[in-house]
Structure formats: structure tokens, C-alpha cells
Amino acid sequence: QVQLVESGGGLVQPGGSLRLSCAASGSIFRINTMGWYRQAPGKQRELVAVITSGGSTSYADPVKGRFTISRDNAKNTMYLQMNSLKPEDTAVYYCNADVQITANRGYRSYWGQGTQVTVSS
């Protein structure tokens, strides 16, 4: 079994910063791509940023230049540094990881439970 646990969400004023963490634990042989997604009330879940095991990154247009995704492969942990936050960034943020639990098994996608980020004055 694999668990992903997000932390670091909260209430922040516009223009402020937050750093989210996603820690993966359990039966993990290898983690491939990891990513952050978000879902605002009444909207579909959307991609925020992804990072490969080699460190290549990709960002959604609304967060480019403000958010930075990173990971520590030794700790099976991913981060999202969010700067210059806007009210429209308010959402539940979810982490996702493609995990291989043994060398002879394929990758499977896992999700965390989500952490609330609220940007408001």
C-alpha cells in the first residue's frame, strides 16, 4: 500500500507565499512522475505542475513564474513553493505520484487526500 500525505496548506493574504509538501510512504520501489493538481469549488480538478524523476518540470500557464515544483527523491517527497498568491489560487491542492511497488510491477497512480489553500484578505 502507498500513501501520499500533503501538508502546508492554510490561509494567506494576496501576495503571500506558502510551501506545500507531499510525502510518499509505504511499499515503494520507484516513483516516476509526481504532480500537483488543484480543485476549486464548482470546478474540475486541474493540473498545476509536474516533475519527472529526473527533475524536468512543467507548469500550467496561470502559475508560471509564481510557483516552483521540486522533489527530494531520497525522501520520496515533493514540494510546491507558491509565491505571489492570488485569490484565484484558492483551491484544494492534491498531490499525485506514479509509483512502482516492485521491480516486476507496472506503475500505478496514487493521490493524496488534499490540503486546502485559501488566499483572502
> 114, 58 in Cβ contact below 8 A?
no
> For the segment 49-69, what is each residue's pLDDT rounded down to a tens digit?
999 999 999 999 999 999 999
> For the segment 22-48, what is each residue's pLDDT rounded down to a tens digit?
999 999 999 999 999 999 999 999 999
φ, ψ at 35 (rounded to 5°): -155, 160
Residues 6+ apart with CB under 8 A from 113: 4, 5, 6, 94
Output the CA angle 109-25-93, nearest 5 degrees.
60
pLDDT band, residue 7 (cuts 50/70/90): very high
Q: How far apart are the first and last CA of the chain?
A: 40
